[in-house]
Amino acid sequence: MHSGGQLELRFPPAETNHPVDKPVALTQSGIDAELTLACAGLARDLGLKDLAGKLSVVWNQRMRSTAGRAFWPEGKIELNPKLIEFSSDEVSGTMLHELAHLVAYARVGRKRIKAHGSEWRQACYDLGIPNERATHNLPLPTREIARKWRYSCPVCEEAIERVRKMKRYAGCYQCCKQHNGGYYHKKFRLVESQINR
């Protein structure tokens, strides 16, 4: 239920036989209708009608270590069903955290922003979670994936490591920004190497 900027979610008591893989009423496409309506209402309250019109909240059965995630520009929020085992507060808090990402991107348009930067913090404040942290501390299982590929800048020597190989050439963002007005230049093309551990 949504009123005055606050969000309250109610779930069946833990002792019911309510399956975790179908926490509340889901549409045929797997969208949680109640949570989607709640998010859409909050987006409309913030004057973001376009975002409200495309929002969807789904429970992702494959999520393990992640509590939730947001997809822009789709306007989609995915939640880990394990959240229900903790509390409705965790569901609501994670949903608002992810909604704040979508609100931040909807407000800035095509501008590039930091995932948990000032725009996200302002969105958290506007959604009633002013002291939200970037990461959760829930006892979810962790998963360490070995990174097999390293990409380094031939100029500044900064490197990033990735699980999967890049499919296209990429340039060092900082060098392109500093020396070429933010545009790609082959001088700053990242050099690929395989990590042997």
Q: What is the pLDDT of residues 132-144, one digit of tens each?
A: 988 877 767 665 6
Q: What is the pLDDT of residues 60-83, one digit of tens each?
A: 988 888 889 999 999 999 999 988
**Percentage of the residues of the chain whose pLDDT score is greater than 90:** 47
Beta bridge partners of 26: 32
Q: In which band, very low, low, confident or very high, does the pLDDT at 43 lie, cut at 50, 70 and 90?
A: very high
Which among 81, 35, 90, 78 is positioned nearest to 61, based on CA atoms?
81
Q: In which band, very low, low, confident or very high, does the pLDDT at 168 lie, cut at 50, 70 and 90?
A: confident
> For residue 164, what pLDDT is reported?
85
Average pLDDT of every residue of the chain: 83
Q: Which residue would you say has higher pLDDT here, 54 or 29? A: 54
pTM of whole model > 0.85? Answer: no
> For residue 154, what pLDDT is reported?
93
> For residue 143, what pLDDT is reported?
59
Q: In which band, very low, low, confident or very high, does the pLDDT at 27 lie, cut at 50, 70 and 90?
A: low
Residue 22 reports pLDDT greater than 70: no
Give the domains, in start order, of the chain with CATH numbers: 2-126 (3.30.2010.10), 149-194 (no CATH)
> For residue 55, what pLDDT is reported?
97
> For residue 197, what pLDDT is reported?
65
